[in-house]
Structure 1
Amino acid sequence: MDEYIVEVQDLVKRYANLTAVNGISFKVKKGEVFGLLGPNGAGKTTTLECLEGLRRPDGGTVRVGGIDPQTDVRKLRKLLGVQLQNSSMPDSIRPSEAMELICAWHRIPPRRDLLNMFGLDPQSRKQYREMSTGQKRRLHLALALACDPAVVILDEPTAGLDVQGRAQLHEAIRRLRHSGVTILMATHDMAEAETLCDRVAILVRGRIATIGTPAQITSAGLGETRIILRTQKNCLLPGRDIGGARFVRQEEDYGTWLCRDAAASVVALLQEVQRAGDTVEDLRVERPSLEERFLELVERDAS
């Protein structure tokens, strides 16, 4: 049986008359990247804060490495690294000074190797206020890793980053996963979740609407697979329905079909091309995206 390092069971968290998290349950395996997705106010950050020990649950249980975040705070600090959604440091502090401070708190030698890993020169005299958003994000992630945590929580890790900064953070997350670190991340970036996460849970109004791998979640939706095809002689254009493939549009020499059974539909289209003595020049099969499935679940809840 797979060993789980994070366990959430029937978690409830209320703020006055608002139930932010309403009885959610999930488990995360060691070495897994697990994503929490949902619209604003769905309960993602509250769930993470309960795991971090920053919020006390009103019901249910949470465990990180078997530890109760509310009662075993000292053990939790050695096990868990956190990059908060909104975090800051004194304007005049330098990356090396910040690392020395955090490591002193953990009672370990300064981790200058982490500054090098994230492209933050330990000898740099740059102050925090002079750093770019991407540099600040990388610094906070480096600080979160100072104690070699088994579990890292990332709350909107790439929010506000440019393309280069996002790519650098994604590569850092992949390196962590390959080293065996378990990662929980909350994000609004569906493409990010689809690329990085082994499994995701989509939260809507404090409840888990669905949970599974990105492929499992998208395949369970109402969305149809797109088949985009171009042939040398345009034998399929102007388009028509073929087998289980429903023609939807033509753009220049490309035709687009929608279907539920991708394998059977692709075969039917290729057989038609072969019968016409034509040749395929370009063929693309695009399953529904995680973003499309996410919007489907959110809109269904709102209706």
Structure 2
Amino acid sequence: MSDSVISVKGLIKKYGAISAVNGISFSVKQGEIYGLLGPNGAGKTTTLECLEGLRRIDGGNIIVAGCNPQKDKKKIRNIMGVQLQSSSLPDGILVSEAMALVCAWHETKYRSDLLECFGIEGMVKKKYHQLSTGQQRRLHLALALVCNPSVVVLDEPTAGLDVEGRAQLHNEIRKLKKQNVTMLLATHDMAEAEGLCDQISIVIKGTVAVTGTPFEVTAASKRDTRIAIRTGRNSLSSNCKIEGATFFKEKDCYSIWTCSDSALAIGALMQRVKEANDFVIDLRVERPSLEESFLELVSGGEMK
């Protein structure tokens, strides 16, 4: 028996002659944060809308916590909490009214605890349009959790937030993970995906281009690793011949080298520093970032 809470197999969604989603497959285990990454128009939001039961699928199969969201729409709403990319409420609705409305829809008691959890309990008499973007996002997430869902879908949850707002929302997402909530996260923010997600799929033109942990995806990049090294006597220069390393540039007193085998390159650099009777002040190894790997795929480059 599969241990996947979310299972998507061969998903197809067409709009006329256009295939927005063309055979996407992935699975998410209990308590995982799974990221869907891709450029605009890649099919991420359409995939989520199919999974939420908001769009009729044209092929494939979706199961969420043992439920088919295409058929069991009433059941799925008590299994899944959703924060849509374009979540919005009427400008004039009070925070307390929004919470009461969603609680009534789920046939549950008023969740003042969620407002307190997200730091907006003091805003219950404020109208929606009076809230900051960050406060609105926290309200949307609170509303998505009214039914104590086992699965939460987050579509660009931190879009438009400042650094502090993103950090606060990320903390709330991590709290949900500690509670063993399964989350599916669609985002354009590579740092967000790298910091939060256990597994990711990069979607290009309606298909999955690569799947793995953020570490596995970056490790598969063809881009070289960079080694930045600062020494006391600046013995490393562009004229040095270092086995397994190629001089890249000098920056801020650092000599920067590229390599495909960092162990070989670091050993050769250390040997050169020792031979020059020099010493290392700082050494940094920078593997290709998730953003670089993403851009490599989007531009048509193939991963290893």
Please give the range of the TM-score, normalised by the shorter of the 2 chains: over 0.9
CA RMSD for the aligned pairs? 1.5
- Alignment-derived partner of residue 299 in structure 1: 299
Residue aligned with 2:300, SS? helix
- Alignment-derived partner of residue 285 in structure 2: 285
Equivalence map 1:2-17=2 (5 Å): 3-17=3-17
TM-score by length of 2: 0.96
Q: Deviations over 1:128-161 (max 9, x none)?
A: 0100111101100000011111110000101111
Q: Deviations over 1:210-250 (max 9, x none)?
A: 00011101111111111000011111134534111111101
Equivalence map 1:71-82=2 (5 Å): 71-82=71-82
- Alignment-derived partner of residue 206 in structure 2: 206
Percentage of matched positions with identical amino acids: 57
Of residues 185-194 and 267-276 in structure 1, the stretch that sits farther from structure 2 once superposed is 267-276
Q: Which runs of 4+ in 1 moved over 4 A?
A: none
Over 3 Å counting, the alpha-carbon distance change for 1:258 and 1:238 in structure 2 is closer
Aligned 8 A contact 1:199 1:212 in 2 = yes
Partner Cα separation in structure 2 for residue 2 and residue 87 of structure 1: 32
Over 3 Å counting, the alpha-carbon distance change for 1:194 and 1:2 in structure 2 is farther
Deviation of the 1:171 alpha carbon: 0.8
TM-score by length of 1: 0.96
Equivalence map 1:142-181=2 (5 Å): 142-181=142-181
- Alignment-derived partner of residue 271 in structure 2: 271
Q: Deviations over 1:256-290 (max 9, x none)?
A: 00111112211221122122221111111110011
Q: Deviations over 1:93-125 (max 9, x none)?
A: 222221111111111111111111111025642
Over 3 Å counting, the alpha-carbon distance change for 1:133 and 1:241 in structure 2 is farther
Aligned 8 A contact 1:9 1:61 in 2 = yes
Q: Deviations over 1:45-90 (max 9, x none)?
A: 0000011000111000011012100111122111100000002112
Partner Cα separation in structure 2 for residue 180 and residue 97 of structure 1: 29
**What code does the residue aligned with 1:274 have?**
K
- Alignment-derived partner of residue 57 in structure 2: 57
- Alignment-derived partner of residue 39 in structure 2: 39
Aligned 8 A contact 1:239 1:255 in 2 = no
Aligned 8 A contact 1:99 1:110 in 2 = yes
Of residues 135-144 and 275-284 in structure 1, the stretch that sits farther from structure 2 once superposed is 275-284
Aligned 8 A contact 1:133 1:160 in 2 = yes
**What code does the residue aligned with 1:294 have?**
F
Aligned 8 A contact 2:227 2:286 in 1 = yes
**What code does the residue aligned with 1:87 have?**
S
Partner Cα separation in structure 2 for residue 243 and residue 172 of structure 1: 47
Residue aligned with 2:173, SS? helix
Where in structure 2 are there 5+ consecutive unaligned residues?
none
Partner Cα separation in structure 1 for residue 277 and residue 125 of structure 2: 68
Partner Cα separation in structure 2 for residue 106 and residue 174 of structure 1: 25
Aligned 8 A contact 2:238 2:247 in 1 = no
Deviation of the 1:295 alpha carbon: 0.8
Deviation of the 1:2 alpha carbon: 7.1
**What code does the residue aligned with 2:185 have?**
M
Partner Cα separation in structure 1 for residue 252 and residue 233 of structure 2: 13
- Alignment-derived partner of residue 189 in structure 1: 189
- Alignment-derived partner of residue 28 in structure 2: 28
Partner Cα separation in structure 2 for residue 33 and residue 45 of structure 1: 17
Aligned 8 A contact 2:37 2:188 in 1 = yes
Residue aligned with 2:242, SS? coil
**What code does the residue aligned with 1:188 have?**
H
Of residues 293-302 and 174-183 in structure 1, the stretch that sits farther from structure 2 once superposed is 293-302
- Alignment-derived partner of residue 92 in structure 1: 92
Over 3 Å counting, the alpha-carbon distance change for 1:258 and 1:16 in structure 2 is same
Partner Cα separation in structure 2 for residue 91 and residue 280 of structure 1: 59
Aligned 8 A contact 1:95 1:122 in 2 = no
- Alignment-derived partner of residue 141 in structure 2: 141
Partner Cα separation in structure 2 for residue 90 and residue 129 of structure 1: 8
Partner Cα separation in structure 2 for residue 23 and residue 61 of structure 1: 10
Of residues 270-279 and 75-84 in structure 1, the stretch that sits farther from structure 2 once superposed is 270-279
